[in-house]
Amino acid sequence: MRPLKSSVVGVLTRLVEASLALAIGLAISAVLIAVYGYDPARAFYWLFYGGFGTWSLLFDTLAYATPLMLTGAAFAVCASTGMFNIGVEGQAYMGAIGAVALGGLLASQLPELAPAALPLALAGSAGLGALWALGPAVLKVLRGVHEVISSIMFNWMAFYTAMYLVRGPLMNPARPEMSISVVPQARFPVLFRGSILTNSIYVAVAISILAYLVLRMTRLGFEMRLVGSNPDAARYAGVSVSRTTLVAYLLSGAIAGLGGGLIVVGRPPVWSIYGTLGNVVNVGFDGIGVSMIAANNPAAVVLSSILIGGLWNGSRFMEPYAGVCSELSRAVIGLIVLALSVPGVLRMLRRRTVLELTVAALSAFVLRTFGVLRRGLGRWSS
C-alpha cells in the first residue's frame, strides 16, 4: 500500500494536469471556433449546459458515458501492459454485432432462449470483441507486428463486416435503415422515466472497478503491469511475456466488445445498430481519450468517461443553438490527448510557461536552419 500522502498528492496532480489539458483543448478550439465567425462563449455555454445543465441532461450524459467507460477501461487494461489497443473501436463494433446476433436474431428465432437473452447478448458482445482482439494479439506475439498497425486494419475490417451484416443478414425488414432490435428481455430497464439512462451503467462501473482490482490485487494484474513497465525484468522474473500480452489483449477486447454491446442492449429507443453504424462509430476512439485523461487507470475511467460523455451530449446542443458542428467536441478530445502526451505538463509549466517553450523551440529551429543555410552558402561561395 502506498503512503496516503503520496497517493493524495498524485491524484491531485493528475486532476490539475487533466484540467490543464482540458483548458488547453478548449482554448485551441475557441480559436478554431472564432476563426470561422462563431461565438466561442455561446458554443461553450451550450456545450456544457447541454452536458451538465439540468438533472435530466446529466442523466443523458451518464447514458453516453456508459459505453465510453468500458472502451476506456479496455484501453487502460492494455496500456497498463504497455500496449496501445487502438483496436477498441473495431472490437466495439463487433461487440454490438454480437449483441444483435445473439440477443436479437437468435433469441427471436428460438423463443425458448428469450428468458436468457440478456446474458446471451452480453456473452455475444464480449466473445466477439475478444475474437476481434485475437488477430492483433497473435500477430504481435508470433510475428512482432506492432499492435497499432494491425489493430487499425482490424478496425476497418470490422467496419466493413459490420456494415455488411447490418445491411444484409441482420437487417430489420420493417425498418431497413437499421439492424433488427434485441428482444425485450435483452434490454436493460430504464432508470428514470423519459431518460435514456438504463441499469447498464451499473454493469459498466462494476467492470471498470473490477478491472482496476484485477490490475492492482491479483497475480495476473501484477504480471501485466510488470510486462508493461519492464518486459526484460518480467522475463527475468519468469513471467511469460507472450502469454501475459495475449491475456491482456483478449481481456481488453472482451471489455471493449461489452462497451459496444451496451450501446445496443442499454440505450433506448432503438435497441439496435443504425445502418450507417452512426450510434457505434467513435465510441472506441473517444474511449482512448477517456483512458488517457484517467492516466490509464480503469477506476478513474468512471469519472473521465462522464466528462467525455458530457461533451458528446452537449455537442448535440452546440449545433442547433450556436451553429457549431457537433463533431468539434471530438477535436477537443484530440487536443486533450495531444496535451497529455507531454509528460509532466504541470512540472514544465512551473519552470516556464508553455508559450515561452513554444517560442524557444520555434526560434531555436529557425536560427539553426538559418545557421545551416549560412554555413552552406559560405562553403558554396568560398
Partner 1 sequence: MRGLLRFSIAITAFAALLAVLSLVGLSPKSLMEAALLAMTPLALAAVGESLNQKGGVVNIGIDGIFLITATVAVFGAEEFGSGYAGMLVGACVGAFLGFVHGVLSTYARANQIVAGIGMNIFAYGFVPYFLMAAWGFPGIRVPPSWVLVPIRVVTVGEVSVRISEFSVLAVLLAPLLHLLLYGTPVGLRIRACGESPEAADVAGVSVYGIRIALSTLGGALAGLGGAFMSLAWFGGVVKEISAGRGFIALACVVASGLEPLLSLGFAFLFGFSEALAYAVAVTPGVKEVVPYHLVLSIPYVVTLAIVAVFVGRRRFPRALGQPYVKD
Q: Which spans of this chain sit near partner 1 (rule: CB under 8 A)?
A: 32, 36, 38, 84, 86, 135, 139, 143-146, 148-150, 152-157, 159-161, 163-164, 167-168, 282, 285-286, 288-289, 292, 324-325, 327-343, 348, 357-358, 360-362, 364-365, 368-369, 372
Q: How far is the CB of 260 from partner 1 (least distance, A)?
A: 18
The nearer residue to partner 1, 233 or 327, going by C-beta atoms, is: 327
Are 247 and 85 in contact, with CB atoms under 8 Å apart?
no
Q: How far is the CB of 199 from partner 1 (least distance, A)?
A: 30
Q: How far is the CB of 164 from partner 1 (least distance, A)?
A: 4
The nearer residue to partner 1, 93 or 188, going by C-beta atoms, is: 93
Q: How far is the CB of 335 from partner 1 (least distance, A)?
A: 6
Q: How far is the CB of 157 from partner 1 (least distance, A)?
A: 5
Helix (H) or strand (E) holding 85: none
Q: How far is the CB of 379 from partner 1 (least distance, A)?
A: 12
Instruction: Tell me how far apart the alpha carbons of residues 313 and 293 are, in angstroms, rounded to a whole number.
Output: 18
Q: Which residues contact 141 (CB under 8 A, 6 or more apart)?
A: 242, 245, 246
The nearer residue to partner 1, 28 or 239, going by C-beta atoms, is: 28
* Helix ranges, the chain (H): 4-35, 40-52, 55-80, 88-100, 107-109, 117-143, 147-167, 200-217, 219-229, 231-236, 241-265, 283-293, 301-322, 328-340, 345-351, 354-381
Q: How far is the CB of 9 from partner 1 (least distance, A)?
A: 22
Query: Helix or strand or coil: residue 335?
Result: helix
Residue with cell 508559450: 355
The nearer residue to partner 1, 3 or 144, going by C-beta atoms, is: 144
Amino acid at 32: L
Per-residue cell: 282 = 467513435
The nearer residue to partner 1, 135 or 266, going by C-beta atoms, is: 135
The nearer residue to partner 1, 20 or 163, going by C-beta atoms, is: 163
Q: For the chain, how many residues are written?
A: 382
- What single string gives the DSSP state of each residue in 258-298? HHHHHHHHSSTTT-S-BTT-TTTTTHHHHHHHHHHHTTT-T
The nearer residue to partner 1, 307 or 336, going by C-beta atoms, is: 336
Are 278 and 96 in contact, with CB atoms under 8 Å apart?
no
Per-residue cell: 351 = 519552470
Residue with cell 428482444: 183
Q: How far is the CB of 238 from partner 1 (least distance, A)?
A: 25
